[in-house]
Amino acid sequence: MSSPEPAEAGSRAYGRLTIDTAALVANWRSCGARAPRAECGAVVKANAYGIGIENAVPALAEAGCRTFFTAQLAEAVKARGLDARASIYVLNGLLPGAGDVYAAHDLRPVLGSLDEIREWSAFCAASGWRGGAALHVDTGMARLGLRLEAAEALLAEGSLFEPCLLISHLACADTPAHPLNGRQIAAFHAVRGLFPGVPASLCNSSGLFLPDDLGFDLTRPGIALYGGNPTPDKPNPMAPVVTVEARVIAVRAVQPGESVGYGATWVSRSPARLAIVGVGYADGYLRAGSSSDDYDSALAYAGGRYCPIAGRISMDLTTIDISALPEGTIARGDWIELAGPHLPIDEVARRSGTVCYEILTSLGSRYHRIVPPGGESR
């Protein structure tokens, strides 16, 4: 994956991603400004939300980010290869029997069960490793993390395990009025009381935009760094990071009554012109964005206008209705925007019945990835 791409890769590609690391850094800085007394970390799980961990980690580290969160151990090993000094946490915890891998790469598991704590403590006692681990306490997500009572029991039994960071995760931070937010925040304050002096971290991206100051010692923004809207009911305060473009393979005309694509779900009502682009659901351009006679879904931005998808998105191809553009505007070989400055990822997600997280993390491996230089200057 890290081998240099041949110079002609761009000219051979049917899809390309442009990754604006200057916007990534600007987003990280503006997340940091929302909790000025806390350290601002960065969540780089799932290949840095699709943009490439090798693009995200060096740019953020250069900007001053000192703490990264991954989901999986292999991602953390990769992040360590990109930054020798940062604190790197593995949110999915301790993979059974893998203590030596965490130690070898100086990685910190986020422990979320008594089993994990016992295994980690035994590993540290046997190996002498003192690299630290975080403790995840569940305050209401009921996914990972020790329940409050279990944390109390752990302390009562005199456990020697001392976390270097205490975390919990908000389930409804993107819905400020949700009553679970208040309950989780109160529970987190209670948990902190059990671990005096241990640095604490609660906020994901949306948590930074809740009315209370929830920065604590360290924040964990993810989606906001990559341009997703952390305030779904309000305009997006973040800058777009990713532009997705598809190459036109063919332009063709259809007559009224002709159908387009699998299932013949879209039938032309008038003489129409179509652009066929070489990106499909195998590239993560979700099939749920297909359109039919009955409903409109995803849009493309071509020739300065928004053009609807015609019919089903297929594996390697998508058909775009460019009838609204003057003839000759779009030609074979042209690039058409599927997401980016004119088509925010949140809007693409809405039209495909999903969230921008899934749009970004689905971006496939066939795209030619372009990272313009100068990401650290902004």
Ligand X SMILES: *Cc1c(COP(=O)(O)O)cnc(C)c1O
Write out the binding residues: 143, 315
**Of 202 and 279, which CB lies nearer to ligand X in the complex structure?**
202
Among 204, 231, 291, 319, binds ligand X (CB under 6 A): 204
d(CA 73, CA 260): 45
Any contact of residue 111 with ligand X (CB under 6 A)? no
The DSSP call for residue 128 is -
Q: x-or-dash pattern for ligand X, window 215-254, by CB under 6 A?
A: -----xxxxx------------------------------
Dihedral sign for Cα atoms in the order 354, 360, 366, 372 = positive
Q: x-or-dash pattern for ligand X, window 20-59, by CB under 6 A?
A: -----------------------x-x--------------
Break the chain down into helix, strand, coil percent, rounded to 5: 30, 20, 45
Task: Kindly name the residue from 14, 45, 49, 367 that is annotated as catalytic.
Answer: 45
**Minimum distance between the CB of residue 145 and ligand X, rounded to whole angstroms?**
9
**Of 67 and 323, which CB lies nearer to ligand X in the complex structure?**
67
Q: Any catalytic annotation for residue 45? A: yes
**Of 172 and 313, which CB lies nearer to ligand X in the complex structure?**
172
Among 13, 48, 63, 91, binds ligand X (CB under 6 A): 91
d(CA 360, CA 340): 11
Q: Any catalytic annotation for residue 234? A: no
Any contact of residue 214 with ligand X (CB under 6 A)? no
**Of 220 and 369, which CB lies nearer to ligand X in the complex structure?**
220
- Give how far Cα 72 sits from Cα of 45, 56, 83, 254, 309, Å: 7, 16, 17, 49, 36
With CB under 6 A as the rule, give the number of residues binding ligand X.
12
Other Cβ atoms less than 10 A from the Cβ of 105: the count is 16
The strand pairing partners of 219, in sequence order, are: 40
Which residues are part of the catalytic machinery?
45, 262
